[in-house]
Amino acid sequence: MGGHAGTPEEPTIARKPQPEGGQAPVVQRVRIRYAKRGPLRFTSHRDFARAFERALRRAAVPVAFSQGFHPHPKISYASAAPTGVASEAEYLEIALQAEVDPEALRAALDAALSPGLDVLDAVIAEGGNLPDRIEASHWYIELPEVDTAVLRAAVDAFVAAEEVLVERMTKQGRRTFDARAAVISIDVQLPTPTPSGAPAVPCAILELVVRQVTPSVRPDDVLSGLRVVADLEPPVSPRVTRLAQGTLTAQGAIVDPLDADRDGAAIVGH
């Protein structure tokens, strides 16, 4: 990984920090993919937004600001993962008052953020709307102390059901919705043996591809659905990681939403 906050020399983009009230026109937009790893998966979206704005200032990024009495940096977030969920595929877009090299921007922001909030990719936006390119997410869910055969039976029951109604509290109050219809694929993976070969606590592994719908269907909603159809109640909190999100192909694969902006080879960090 690249350097992070606290290193002796941190790369910057501009010679001077962006002035608070600068409202120069937007000349470039850059789209970024970042990861939330390890303990930093517990960072809320609001806390990440504050940390990212601090990183922009620390890296002297020439970010564009909104108009008005309280200008704020122009940052657009796309489909942020829930608090407590790790992710290898979070996305945002920033508007800039001056052109920058995307790789230099990626490196500077990565250095300015704490380890575990890692900037992986940066591309110049070439048009289109970033949220419109996010149709589905690929999730990896570890279920400690759940037997693989038990999980497989629950998944079979889930797949066989025409609908699986679950409840969740939303901003609009308690909602009931179908967790089954949004699931494009659901599969049980074989557990990985321990390096020593010694017996380990069982840990079933579930992989999901879930379509973006309203209200959104999250991994915990699918786990609630497994409880509804098969009375599966994991004794330990699951460990959830988003592996990818983006557009769907006809075969059900997920395409990185930044691919449409690329010109030549990808710019990838870490």
51 token code pair: 């940390």
Residue 222 is assigned to a structural domain of this protein = yes
The conformation of residue 97, written as its DSSP 8-state character, comes to S
Name the helix (H) or strand (E) containing 155: helix 148-160
Task: Establish if 5 belongs to a structural domain.
Answer: no
Residue 19 lies inside a defined structural domain of this protein: no
Domain with residue 55: its CATH number is 3.30.70.580
One domain, residues 139 and 251: yes
Give pLDDT, residue 14: 60
State the pLDDT at residue 68.
79
User: Torsions phi, psi of 100, nearest 5?
Assistant: -135, 160
Asked if residue 88 lies in contact with residue 117, where contact means CB atoms within 8 angstroms, the answer is: no
Residue 247 and residue 139 share a domain:
yes
Specify whether the CB–CB gap between 208 and 219 falls below 8 A.
Answer: yes
Range of the domain at 172: 134-255
Q: What is the pLDDT of residue 127?
A: 85
What pLDDT score was predicted for residue 11? 73
For residue 259, how many other CB atoms are within 10 A of its CB? 12
Q: How many domains does the chain have?
A: 2
> Could you tell me the pTM of the whole model?
0.84
80-118: per-residue pLDDT in tens?
Answer: 899 999 999 999 999 999 999 999 999 999 999 999 999
Which stretches of the chain drop beneath a pLDDT of 50?
A: 1-2, 15-19, 21-22, 196, 264-270
pLDDT value, residue 190: 83
Sign of the four-CA dihedral 155, 160, 165, 171: positive
Smallest CA-to-CA distance from 190 within 177, 202, 176, 172 is with: 202
